[in-house]
């Protein structure tokens, strides 16, 4: 007979893993991917292969984010001023294709 402290724990439940499938390409998701792509292009990784290596997204998600960034203005926060007169404004950027490379168009 097993002691109380040596008994196996019998109340464990089996958990079914969540089904992992392709992510739904909502506008909010595409905007966040486009903003990540914007940051990657700013650091100098401006080809699709370099962006794919840096970011942990599938090729399908990256293509959707690039298409979204090419057709919509992305809003980037910018701080103007110092000290007590500091203000937060936004500036707009867009991803532009230039051959095999991507560039940032600022407005």
Tell me the residue range of the domain where 89 lies: 26-106
The span from the CA of 55 to the CA of 60, in Å, is 13
Number of domains comprising the chain: 1
Q: Is residue 3 part of a domain?
A: no
Q: Is residue 79 part of a domain?
A: yes
Q: Within a 10 A sphere around the Cβ of 36, how many other Cβ atoms?
A: 19
Q: Is residue 44 part of a domain?
A: yes
Binned at pLDDT 50, 70 and 90, residue 10 comes out as low
Per-residue confidence (pLDDT) for residue 23, from 0 to 100:
86
pTM of the model: 0.76
Residue 32 is assigned to a structural domain of this protein? yes
């Amino acid at each position: 007979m097993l002691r109380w402290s040596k008994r196996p724990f019998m109340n464990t439940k089996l958990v079914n893993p969540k089904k992992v499938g392709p992510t739904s390409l909502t506008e909010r998701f595409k905007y966040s991917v486009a903003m990540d792509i914007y940051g990657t292009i700013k650091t100098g990784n401006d080809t699709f292969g370099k962006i794919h290596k840096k970011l942990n997204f599938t090729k399908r998600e990256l293509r959707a984010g690039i298409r979204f960034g090419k057709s919509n203005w992305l809003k980037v926060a910018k701080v103007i001023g110092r000290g007590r007169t500091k203000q937060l404004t936004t500036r707009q950027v867009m991803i532009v294709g230039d051959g095999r490379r991507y560039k940032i168009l600022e407005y």
